[in-house]
Structure 1
């Protein structure tokens, strides 16, 4: 069994896999001794683990997992991955972006992929049908956009996402809500339209905590998968434990 740990900007997420099947997942403030003990008491046969972090170093978590689980693969150490990397600065490539790309490619092999992760930041990445990560773009996430309007103006209130779709806001609050949501939707639709002209048979995959707000707003055939990063982390762990990475 495998344990995948994703240390995000605000919280730590984890998932337990058995032979490629996601059994359970959770979200905590810190992956400490008590949390890990609870996980291992429920899944005592976990024998391998992997850690990704958007906060940089994760030495304490990595050492804890190595001590308690016996094996921990740290993604920042640049282990082999089942993708070609055409990114000019692979050492700066976000670990969550790489994991999501690997997860998407494992779900949809042999297809051109546009992966949109709606998290603290919105990342838009491309993987070719030949299994090469080309790169992508990063822009502010939804909560960041709402907060920027409230923090950098004197009179605008702090707003949040709504389910309703309105093209033109009829109040200041509605104008902010729809301005942020529609702005993101139009941004993603613009990328899709441009990239589809250059890449045939493009498959579009949404992931991340805020993806639910955009799956219906964006008028394209998409795949939504909230566990894409976990799937990618588990696939990388499997890849490094097998003979594939040594071919």
Structure 2
């Protein structure tokens, strides 16, 4: 058994693998104030129904964009798996060339996603990860990571709209009946969802034009992240929805570092 943990700014995703297959997956709030002991209790509570506990794991791997959470959760994980936890950071073997100006500044989750996309869908590929920020990450036809784009996430966009206006409020992120909203709620939903789908397709379209590929070679466009299904349903350029992409990337990198 193997545990993969991806710590995001807002949510943390945990995957339990048996061999190459995910048998359980959980999505939690990242809980920046949680202590090591709290994470230990939480992890045990999640795993107890699966029948697996301390000493039954081959290992664990983690990616994080929140250092304070990573420190506490890593210690809790090491108690559970009773072995060292692999943290994806500079110096870890990923099997992927990083061809950007400063390789040390790229987020671990972005590299992990790119590794998984190349393995599952081939190169070239573009990954769109819908989180607190929405990231676009590009793997060229040689299989190297060459950079991408970062935009405010959909939830962040809604929070900014609500906080800067007196009369508007948060809405459920579901597709309205039509682009022309028949009330304030539908108007906000239309602006957020159709506007965001336009942002995604706009950036993807520019990336695809800029990406050098051999004639006839297709580029895989892959979406992942909690809100991805809602936006992908409205996108014209995303051709794969993969909710376990990051967890799979962690498994691949862990195996590479055995």
2:43 matched to which residue of 1?
36
How much does 1:20 deviate? 1.6
The within-5 A match list for 1:25-104 is 25-29=25-29, 32-38=39-45, 39=47, 42-44=51-53, 45-57=56-68, 58-69=70-81, 70-104=83-117
Aligned to 2:245: 228
Query: Does structure 1 conserve the Cα–Cα contact (< 8 Å) formed by 2:12 and 2:27?
Result: yes
Give the root-mean-square deviation of aligned CA atoms: 2.1
Does the Cα contact within 8 Å between 1:116 and 1:122 map onto a contact in 2? yes
List alignment gaps of at least 5 residues for structure 2. Answer: none
Alignment-derived partner of residue 14 in structure 1: 14
2:128–2:223: 8 Å Cα contact kept in structure 1? yes
Given the two structures, how large is their TM-score scaled by the length of structure 1? 0.88
Task: Give the Cα–Cα distance (whole angstroms) in 2 for the partners of residues 153 and 193 of structure 1.
Answer: 32
Q: Is the 8 A contact 2:176 2:189 kept in 1?
A: no
Is residue 164 of structure 1 aligned with residue 176 of structure 2? yes
Q: Distance in 2 between matches of 1:189 and 1:231?
A: 25
Give 4+ residue runs of structure 1 displaced > 4 Å after superposition: none
How far the C-alpha of 1:168 sits from its partner, in A, is 3.0
Counterpart check, 1:178 vs 2:178: no
**Counterparts in 2 of 1:136-147, with a 5 A limit?**
136-147=148-159
Aligned pair count?
240
Q: CA deviation at 1:173?
A: 2.5
SS in 2 for 1:76: coil
Q: Give TM-score scaled by structure 2 length.
A: 0.85
Name the CA distance, whole Å, in 1 between partners of 2:143 and 2:220.
13
Query: Which piece of structure 1 moves more, 225-234 or 153-162?
Result: 153-162
What is the SS of the residue equivalent to 2:92? Answer: coil
2:130 alignment partner in structure 1? 118
Q: 1:11 to 1:4 in 2, by over 3 A?
A: same
Determine if contact 2:112/2:246 at 8 Å carries over to the other structure: yes
Quick one: which of 120, 129, 141 aligns to 1:129? 141
Whether contact under 8 Å (1:5, 1:14) holds in the other structure is yes
